[in-house]
Amino acid sequence: MKKRSIVAESTRPAHPSTPSEAPKVRRPLEGAAFVIAAAVPAQWPEAGPAEIAFAGRSNAGKSSAINALARRTRLAFASRTPGRTQQIVFFALTDGARAADLPGYGYAAVSRDIKRAWQQSLWDYVTTRSTLIGLVLVVDARHGLKPLDLALLDGFVPSGRPVLILATKSDKLNLAERRDALAAIRSEAAGRYRNAAVTALAFSAATRLGVEEADLVLDEWLPRTE
């Protein structure tokens, strides 16, 4: 799989001069449908279709990001108590692929045993799932990459599979702050994961900032069936 670098914009032309210059960009999550909420690996759907995983700290805006990409309001649900969602939720995509919404991590007010159990499930999925083709890491733009985010990337990036970092809640920053926050994320990722297939985008589910750019990246990951 061709690697992507950390860049400010997609390398695809935004407006090709003729329709034949580039294939139509899909909205990979649009039309996604719930499949199962799996508490243990035995409940995971049988491996087969390509899967894209969404991960992030509790309260980073992961559910909102999934809903924005799916053009839905209630496809993915955030727990009323951050850090309580312990299942991997699988969604079927219209092209036959799947998306997996992984448990949020890093919320302090959860017992150590419970936290260990579901974070182990997340880790097992990210490191052993043979059909996982890419990881979307959701981080709060105001806080950047935290130690648990980096631990997850440390385990995933060496596989050579691509990563998309969505710097969510970017609408809560002014333009200068947003640029600085995104630059800091890109700089840290580039320094830590040299030559890795990592892309970082400013994102806001509220204003739809970065939604179409994220579509472009995910579209490149998924095989075309037509």
Q: How high is the pLDDT of residue 83?
A: 45
Angle between the 211-221 and 62-70 helix axes, to the nearest 10 degrees?
Answer: 80
Q: How high is the pLDDT of residue 66?
A: 95
Q: How high is the pLDDT of residue 4?
A: 46
The model's pTM: 0.84
DSSP β-bridge partners for residue 201: 166
Q: How high is the pLDDT of residue 117?
A: 64
Tens of pLDDT along the chain (226 residues) come to: 444 444 433 334 444 444 445 556 789 999 999 999 998 889 999 999 999 999 999 889 999 999 999 998 878 765 444 444 678 999 999 999 999 999 888 765 555 665 566 677 788 899 999 999 999 999 999 999 999 999 999 999 999 999 999 999 999 999 999 999 999 999 999 999 999 999 999 999 999 999 999 999 999 999 876 5
Q: How high is the pLDDT of residue 121?
A: 78
**Residue 131: what residue type?**
T
Q: How high is the pLDDT of residue 93?
A: 95
110: left (phi over 0), alpha (psi -120 to 50) or beta: beta
For residue 55, give the 3-state DSSP assignment. Answer: strand
CATH (residue range 28-221): 3.40.50.300
Biggest CA pair distance of the chain: 57
Domain ranges of the chain: 28-221
Cβ neighbours of residue 122 under 8 Å, at least 6 residues apart?
55, 88, 102, 103, 105, 152
Between CA 7 and CA 9 the distance in angstroms is: 6
